[in-house]
Structure 1
């Protein structure tokens, strides 16, 4: 709120569409950038923006344009209408004298675009002219003199006759020597109107105002805006080619040599290793070896094998093809040729010769007559794998077998620690029971594993338990090694590996592990194999 010592004028206005719908937008009143009122100790600055309310109306209190002791003085408000939906918003000037404390824009705003901007004139300016020309009386008396006094109303209420015209201000002016007509005299009070200039094109929309009205420029809102390079994020022209500034480009689009640092040699290379012009250097020019010379002098021992000489190669190496040698090994750490290994086997038969991954012993060394494994105990035979193999079956040899295994019959493979690594299913079922054998000399019988097992090289134990009814059909007669003794040996040499054994107490299914140390010798040493 302004101090009471500053005279103000309340300005109102209402904006509607032709159908009565309230318009939206704002009306901006601009005074000089800064107004000072020394008597009130107040400085005013910036435009006043009045927003249209829901009825399309505004109401704002502004300092009077003729406030005493105001600096600057002799100015007018610039009114800018910013109305949504109105294609041509107006901008015009008004005076707000203190003697009229209220003004409505509908009374003072221009409506004819062909007329000049309207500026409100003090109401008593013509009266002062009349006083200067000899009129004696108040403003009201002067106004009354322009139309003369009204007639007196009669007793019956009828309208009285018009009074005679009084001496009006124009008459006073004529008496004082004014030579023109009444219209000319009235025009002389305000001066002739200037000719209307051509209507300009509507400006582009401002950033935050109505179309064509600039409210501010880069944050500056004043009559005369002056921008510097920093205001628009630009580099001053004085910084081009100057210390601490920026370099410029010449006509070829390059930085002139004069603006390059001295350490760069002015942007040009004088010579390279004593050469000028188009220089092509070789290895000898820079004191280096060619690729061939370098390979000969410095063999890449980490990436290649020497053709001759002693060389140590560490780490695991993978060969894309099988390495070969023409000589037989002469030491334990030499590579061995296949023919050399085969020759060491002599005439011995190997499991691979019979399509097997490993076996307990050459089956040709077994007894001609098979032995019954018995119904109930768990029989065990050790098998060694020299190389890794994928196992799918457990293999026996039967000299006769009429079938008839019962539930509780199974077979499994255990590693050297006694942990089960693979097993068959229930061998009383058709999927896992070995085929019957009724041929002279017997035949190989097998039971498949429930899943293939990738076995590393090592010692494995084949354990099995067969349940059968001796009154209706005997179990298989299995091939066995010589078992004449009551408890034939099953441990040989200086290792604790048990090659044959038995657990007299069986189990209905293959246990997860077996205790090798508690395995008994048993009376029979059965042959078994893996495939």
Structure 2
């Protein structure tokens, strides 16, 4: 809505086909590119496209073309009719003076094809003609002068007899039938389509697309000044309140520089041809090297060094590698048992009453949280019965690591030989003889895991259903405590069946959580 204070004119109209059907399309009103109204602190710009409604009618309210104080002034609207099915749409000019706040376009638009451009020009009003002819007084007084005395009422004539309607005339003329039959008889056969008329000549203001105004000027011969294009006049260089000009060397002439504050009398107490030494200005001699200690600073080598200072990472935080270990004193952690990280502390898991064999072609995923940069080269699974590849030669295995987004970051490739569990030197007979313990599966290369959440993956890709028994958290149910999370979804224990190798990506949303979670760890051996 335009601000108050800008006079407007509401234009209405309706467009129909010769047989009374509503035309479809729009009317585009174009004013100068930008119109400034200083008193209202607003700038108006852009064309206004007004669509015809279902009845072929439209209504639009626009600034008056004689609004006071606007810049530019003295312009008219360019009206472009864009109707479907009309072979030659028109473009013409219209003035919308404020003294006529409501107008119909049928009173303004041209109808003669030979004169397609029409500008509504206001003529003198009857009152102004009367004043020019000598009348003295206000508009009200002039209007009152037009009212003469009331004349005598004339004698009322005799009412005439009602005449016959058209149907009655037709019956009297010999038509046989009721009124509906007579109305149907008035519709003649459809005539043949007429020949297409000759294309009319373009209007004097040019076809649509021809320039209508330049920088707000809508005259035939446009003359632009420097101000029109926001440029500096060519008379400004070197002139007062203008701009500095450059000489042939590309420098400002001395005459255009400000006056000097006076000649230098002395420099640091010296006169004549002055040559200052380092001591004259309290500086060190050339070639002198200052150390950090000499200026009371720390050396750059102290950042992140022992007995130095902590450095900050790209997020302005101290890297976790420079923080003290957050594990409480005298507590069991993965490193205390030879691992770098694990899915859970096995000592906190109740001993399952039923042994569990790895399902062939099922990938077991165990979540591991990494809090600082950690290098690993083995995935380790806690076995409850694995006699080694010598005893089970047909078994084939894969191990790997996936990041939180499900992308594989490390793999062992297919492994055909693994040592029996529980065979480390010093293992008690109960674990040694029953093949219970850690089974490491080497990765193809060591990897440094940055802080984040990961899954260790284990797969028995070939073999039988009783080849490999694993230690597990006994809870073969979707309600396994490992899958208790909030915020970003991270299932610490899940699996994926029907897999013969480790795919490059795995989606936890496509996995299964109803399994007994495997106990796994990562190691650097």
State the TM-score, normalizing by the size of structure 1: 0.37
Structure of larger gyration radius: 1
Tell me: higher relative CO, structure 1 or 2? Use CA pairs within 8 A at least 6 residues apart. Answer: 2
